[in-house]
């Protein structure tokens, strides 16, 4: 055994502790309060665009005994393949050069392992590639051409993900863009598709967290990211702790909306830690949104991202499920919906709101 491996072995197994051979080594916590009891149902929660996704994820867990992370990945595949969802996978809005670049990550509770791909082109199901990164490499993040090649190596086919509809919206956006366009989110509009006219530059993503009846957790987030982004920009969705996070002893969480805010706050990690400390999922999501709002206020000098009442002028929504089966979601401002599947079926429920 090499010296490094030996030290790792001692740390993980505690084999050195008895002999006092590893001064300062941490002991794993045995506090039972950190590990919530599970009540035996399967709960799948997602962003509002995921009613079918949560239904599929729950079915896969209940009927095929699939692990939660894989069920989440297969649930969101419905949205990745949907040309009508302008925010995820095939049909997602492209970057400023008209190229669709996808971000995704997944995380497995029982192994506390994760995989992600970022800024990946031509592959319709980035969440499935992220799952392969998790299962077949000792890396967590693959980016750009490396991620694409990895997907091709595993048999994914390269295809054009830019639909005619997304291309038309991009062309209209390009014809109207102004010199200060990169100053998003201030005043940026996409006066393009009738469905998007006068709306702020659109976001969209799907996050899905799944709790299995045995108490295991897993999650996944997948997106085409911010529409018309600078090529190479990655959001929170492929970043562990930001667009998703789970801890098998506590719960799972994820985000959609302004990725930069979920990154700067470590939003999903924060929610799981709040749940560990005793918050309900909804309380934890609201806590994280308030933290984001405070941080946005601090950054207001260089990015005046605030409404007159002091709340951030960007969208952000968090979703969470706790190991004991409680679930919840909160939106930064105004009404929003999340999708949930449990023993009562798959449906939408209203998110709590941080700023009315
Ligand atoms: N969070 C995603 C990103 O920033 C976009 C979204 O959820 O709308 O890339």
Q: How far is the CA of 141 from the centre of ligand 1 (A)?
A: 17
pLDDT score recorded for residue 114: 98
Residue 205 Cβ inside 6 Å of ligand 1? The answer reads yes
Residue 248 Cβ inside 6 Å of ligand 1? The answer reads no
Indicate the SS3 state at residue 119: strand
Q: Is 108 within 8 Å of 135 (Cβ atoms)?
A: no
DSSP character string of 154-175: TTPPP-----HHHHHHHHHHHH
Does a cis peptide bond (omega within 30 degrees of 0) precede residue 73? no
Residues 143-183 have pLDDT tens digits of: 999 999 999 999 999 999 999 999 998 888 787 776 655 43
Calculate the average pLDDT of the chain.
85
Distance separating the N- and C-terminal Cα atoms of the chain? 59
Is the pLDDT assigned to residue 342 strictly greater than 80? yes
Residue 329 β-bridge partners: 319
pLDDT score recorded for residue 298: 77
Q: Active-site residue among 163, 205, 221, 317?
A: 205
Give yes or no: 111 in active site.
Answer: no
Residue 238 Cβ inside 6 Å of ligand 1? The answer reads no
- The mean pLDDT value for 72-97 works out to 94
Given the DSSP bridges, would you call strands 102-108 and 352-355 parallel, antiparallel or unpaired?
Answer: unpaired
Residues 255-299 have pLDDT tens digits of: 999 999 999 999 999 999 999 999 999 999 999 999 999 888 777
pLDDT score recorded for residue 189: 38
* Whole-structure pTM value: 0.86
* Ligand 1 pocket test, candidate residues 50, 105, 242, 258, most atoms within 8 A of CB: 258
- The mean pLDDT value for 72-82 works out to 97
CA-closest residue to ligand 1 atom 1? 259
Residue 236 Cβ inside 6 Å of ligand 1? The answer reads yes
pLDDT score recorded for residue 193: 42
pLDDT score recorded for residue 214: 93
Among residues 203, 209, 216, the alpha carbon closest in space to that of 75 is found at 209
Residue 188 Cβ inside 6 Å of ligand 1? The answer reads no
Is the pLDDT assigned to residue 349 strictly greater than 50? yes
Q: How far is the CA of 34 from the centre of ligand 1 (A)?
A: 31
Q: Which residue has the higher pLDDT, 313 or 229?
A: 229
* Ligand 1 pocket test, candidate residues 80, 104, 243, 253, most atoms within 8 A of CB: 243
Helix axes 267-276, 281-298, angle to 10 degrees: 140
Q: How far is the CA of 200 from the centre of ligand 1 (A)?
A: 13
What structural domains and CATH numbers belong to the chain? 39-177+193-355 (3.60.20.30)
Q: Is 313 within 8 Å of 300 (Cβ atoms)?
A: no
Q: How far is the CA of 145 from the centre of ligand 1 (A)?
A: 21
* Ligand 1 pocket test, candidate residues 184, 259, 262, 264, most atoms within 8 A of CB: 259
């Amino acid at each position: 055994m090499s010296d490094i491996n030996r030290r790792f072995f001692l740390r993980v197994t505690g084999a050195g502790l008895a002999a006092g051979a590893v001064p300062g080594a941490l002991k794993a916590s045995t506090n039972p309060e950190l590990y919530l009891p599970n009540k035996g149902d399967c709960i799948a929660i997602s962003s509002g665009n995921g009613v079918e996704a949560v239904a599929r994820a729950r079915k896969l867990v209940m009927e095929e005994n699939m692990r939660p992370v894989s069920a989440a990945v297969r649930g969101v595949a419905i949205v990745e393949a949907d040309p009508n969802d302008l925010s995820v996978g095939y049909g997602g809005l492209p970057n400023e050069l008209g190229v669709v670049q996808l971000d995704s990550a997944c995380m497995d509770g029982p192994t506390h392992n994760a995989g992600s791909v970022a800024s990946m082109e031509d592959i319709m199901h980035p969440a499935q590639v992220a799952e392969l990164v998790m299962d077949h490499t000792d890396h967590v993040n693959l980016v750009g051409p490396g991620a694409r090649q990895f997907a091709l190596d595993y048999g994914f086919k390269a295809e054009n993900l830019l639909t005619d509809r997304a291309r038309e919206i991009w062309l209209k956006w390009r014809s109207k863009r102004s010199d200060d366009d990169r100053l998003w989110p201030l005043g940026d509009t996409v006066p393009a598709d009738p469905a998007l006219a006068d709306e702020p530059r659109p976001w969209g993503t799907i996050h899905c967290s799944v709790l299995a009846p045995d108490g295991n957790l897993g999650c996944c987030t997948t997106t085409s990211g911010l529409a018309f982004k600078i090529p190479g920009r990655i959001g929170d969705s492929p970043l562990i702790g930001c667009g998703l996070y789970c801890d098998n002893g506590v719960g799972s969480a994820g985000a959609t909306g302004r990725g930069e805010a979920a990154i700067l706050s470590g939003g999903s990690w924060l929610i799981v830690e709040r749940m560990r400390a005793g918050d309900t999922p909804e309380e934890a999501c609201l806590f994280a949104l308030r933290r984001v709002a405070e941080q946005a206020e601090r950054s207001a000098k260089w990015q005046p991202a605030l409404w007159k009442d002091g709340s951030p002028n960007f969208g952000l929504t968090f979703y969470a499920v706790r190991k004991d089966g409680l679930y919840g979601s909160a939106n930064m401002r105004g009404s929003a919906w999340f999708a949930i599947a449990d023993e009562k079926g798959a449906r939408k429920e209203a998110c709590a709101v941080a700023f009315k």
